[in-house]
Each structure stands twice: as structure tokens, then as C-alpha cells.
Amino acid sequence: MLQALDALPVHQLARQSGFFRRRPRKLSLEAFLHTALLGVAQPTWSLRNWAACLSALQQQLFSKQALHKRCQSRAVDFLQALIAGHLGRVCSRAARPAVFANFARVFLQDSTTLSLHRSLAAHFPASGNQSHQPSAGLKIQAVFELLTQRWFAFHLGPFTRTDQQAAADCLDWIKPGDLLLRDLGYALLPIWQELLHRGAYFVSRLRRDIAIFDKNGQALDLIGSAPSRFAF
């Protein structure tokens, strides 16, 4: 992973994200990233441990208070840009498939979850457990653009924010002519209607409580299930 970071324009991304406004005197960007990766691999990690490793690596004292000031929203933006840049390099640019010839952009959205230390439950609440102790979990919503083979967006939220609750996120960036591919977890009729209203397209598995009708009002039995009380 460290070799992958060396191939990225790290300082340029730091300036673009606002993480660094000018080249810092007391913090090495390379040391910051190396120790951040080291912390991910540790079972327990604290600002004190991080600051100690950072000071040793860059051979210059850096306090946990100063590190805490650095770990704000701009640091998150910077790390997200790094992840997107790395994944973009891993994914090779593919030729435009003929099946997507009529679409301006083709987005694939999905989510994944990570368990966090229970001390973060107030910020990233997760489902309850048998011990009735607060638990913490992170849900990552990721959007990949297939035609350019680039990661388009990431959203970090609590484990309790479902895919259905995230279904409307696409309305912030969808444009006419775009195609959106998502699984059944994001299926919401009002969102589908809004996508069509905006001139966008989508592919989704069909919920059993939604029926499809042709222009003459005849139900289309696409999956062999009985008509439901909803029409689309």
C-alpha cells in the first residue's frame, strides 16, 4: 500500500482537499499517511500512540493535541481522495461497451459495513446486541462510474443508516442520460419516479409489492408473481 501511495500526487491532493494550505514545517505528510496505515492494522489505537509513532518516524516531536486538530473534515476529504485515486489506478480504463452507448454515465452503487470500537457508538451507532451494550458500526456508500472506471463518490455514515435511507443520495448528482445500477436494498418507488422525471435511467431488481403496467393499463407479469396493490 505504501508503494501505491508513492505513485499518487499526494501533496497535490492534500492542497486540493484543504488538508494542507502550504507545506507544513512540523508535520511530514508521508509520515502522517504511513502512521495512519499502521494504525488501521492495530487492534487498539489512540491519538497518543499515533503521535508517538509520528514523532519517531519524522524525527520531530508532534503532540497528540496538534494531531487532533489535524483530524478534522479536511483530513477525511484528503483520505477519501487518496482512496479514490488508488482504486482508480487499480481499475484499468475499459473500452466503452456497446450496451452503454446511449448513456452519458453509468453508475454502480453499493455499500459495505465495518465494526468500530463501542466508544464511537454515539457517532456511528449500530444495531443492539445480546449484552444490551452500545455498539458502533460504519456503513460506507460507494459509487463507481463504469465508463471511466473511476470511483465517483464515497459517503461514511452510521451502521443504522440503511440502503433505503441512502437511496435518495443519487439525486444530488444524477443527470439526464445517466444510468444507475443498484440492488434491491435501494428500491424505492418515489426515487424511481424522480429518476425518470429527471431523464435518468435505472436498473434494479423488482420488489414483489410493485406491479408494472403497459401504456394500455395491462399488468406485465415480469416475474410470475401475483399483481400487488402498487402500480408503477
Strands 179-181 and 201-203: parallel
Report the pLDDT value the prediction gives residue 28, as an integer from 0 to 100. 85
Instruction: Classify domain 98-220 at the CATH topology level.
Output: Transposase Inhibitor Protein From Tn5; Chain A, domain 1 (3.90.350)
Q: Sketch the domain layout of the chain as residue ranges.
A: 2-90, 98-220
> Could you report the per-residue pLDDT of 92-143, keeping only the tens digit for each?
555 567 888 899 999 999 999 988 888 888 889 987 666 667 888 999 999 9
Region of 222 (left: φ > 0; alpha: ψ -120 to 50; beta: rest) is alpha
What percent of the chain is modeled with pLDDT above 90? 32
Is the Cβ–Cβ distance between 41 and 18 less than 8 Å?
no
Per-residue pLDDT at 231 exceeds 60: no
Residue 149: how many other CB atoms lie within 10 Å: 15
Residues 40-84: pLDDT tens digits?
Answer: 777 777 889 999 999 998 888 889 998 898 888 888 888 888 877
Mean pLDDT of 187-198: 94
Residues 6+ apart with CB under 8 A from 13: 78, 81, 82, 85
Say yes or no to pLDDT of 204 above 80.
Answer: yes
Pair 141, 168: CB distance under 8 Å: no
Beta partners for residue 150, in sequence order:
145
DSSP string, 90-135: HSPPPP--GGGTT-S-EEEEEEEEEEE-GGGTTTSB----TT----
